[in-house]
A and B are shown apart, each in its own frame.
Chain A
Amino acid sequence: MSTKFDVIKRRVKRVMLKSLPGMITCREFENFIVDYLEGTLPETQIKLLERHIKICRECKDYLAAYQLTTKLSAALKVAPDEPVPSDVPQDLIDAVANSVASSFNPPRQAKKDSSE
């Protein structure tokens, strides 16, 4: 559903990205996104990215939608105050308690490293 005007705009943009100094292509832009959002993209590349966005509506929209998605993912985090099911299985409590008790003697280092 692109109009004639859109087609011309795309053509102009393509020429600008190709011929103007200090421009990056959409594909190069793509490779910068993760580092840009991490805050680890070098200053010179940030400038290139921001310059690209001024000319490229597509990448600007894409980045905004991408960022929105990233923020939405954060909403899935399970809160540590998640209501505890009243029925923590008694056999689980017993199994854990036994296992922990049996490793109690002799005293030793915490199981190598719990973060493995």
Chain B
Amino acid sequence: MPVNQPKIIQEPRESIDIEKFIRENYGWMLALAESMLGERGTAEDTVQEALIKALNALPNFEHRSSVKTWLRRITVNQTITTMRKLKRLSEVTLDEHQPEFDNFGCRIEEKWDSFPTPEQLLEQKHTRQFIEKALKSLPQSYSIVVRLRDVEGYNTSEVADLLGVSESNVKVRLHRARSALKKILEPVLRREGAES
């Protein structure tokens, strides 16, 4: 596994330019925490905590990933801690927008004439906002799983670790959340599919 990160981080703490480190990373860390939390204020506090943790741990950073990947994980972790403190991750059941079956157990799904590609959809300037809004409409205990698995790209076992739950719990929540998103986004997907 090639290590292509600069070596500065193995230097003693005194030589780390703290201000520079913060200025380089604050923006995306805040955007990330805010997207997960849905609000600026708690996101700012969360990022501050994450920066302190990161800078304290930086001298012992072992290069098993890039610095950004490592910092990203610290940010995600700190955000989950905040969500827990705010009791945002309490288990609720997501029953809305789930797949439908008839009395014989056969799926009910209106015919799709064509599917747009993700690229076609993302060319439309409102698509991203629409997806963000759809994700925000889900209970946070569900949207967090989509954010970690599908947005951040952690694998299922990493998501289970981050949330402190079993992999099967992650999969159940992931499936329900994705199903709901599909349903909510459907009008946009179908419209775009019809136009292309």
Contact = CB atoms under 8 A, between A and B. Distances in A.
B28 A100 contact: no
Interface in A1-52: 10, 13-14, 17, 25-27, 29-30, 33-35, 38
B186 to A, nearest CB: 7
B152 interface: yes
Chain B interface SS verdict (over half): helix
- Give chain B's interface residue range (CB within 8 Å of chain A): 35 or more
Interface string A82-116: 11110011001101110110011000011100111
Contacts of A114: 53-54, 56-57, 74, 77
Interface string B51-92: 111111101100000001000111001000100000000000
B74 A78 contact: no
Nearest to A33: B175
Contacts of B131: 72-73, 75-76
B68 A80 contact: yes
Contacts of B108: 58
Given A66-B182, A109-B60, A96 B55 contact: yes
Contacts of A78: 28, 31-32, 35
Contacts of A65: 112, 115, 182, 186, 189
B53 A14 contact: no
B99 interface: yes
Interface string B122-166: 100001100110010000000000110011110110000000000
28 contacts: A10-B102, A10-B106, A33-B175, A38-B156, A38-B171, A59-B109, A61-B111, A65-B112, A68-B118, A69-B178, A72-B118, A72-B121, A72-B127, A73-B135, A73-B146, A76-B128, A76-B147, A77-B151, A80-B72, A83-B27, A84-B24, A85-B27, A88-B23, A93-B19, A93-B23, A100-B55, A115-B74, A116-B77
Interface of B: 13-14, 18-19, 22-28, 30-32, 35, 44, 48, 51-57, 59-60, 68, 72-74, 77, 81, 99, 101-102, 104-109, 111-112, 115-116, 118, 121-122, 127-128, 131-132, 135, 146-147, 150-153, 155-156, 171, 174-175, 178-179, 181-182, 185-186, 189
Given A74-B153, A110-B60, A111-B56, 14 more contacts: A29-B107, A34-B171, A65-B189, A69-B185, A72-B121, A73-B131, A73-B146, A73-B151, A82-B31, A92-B48, A99-B52, A100-B18, A104-B14, A114-B77
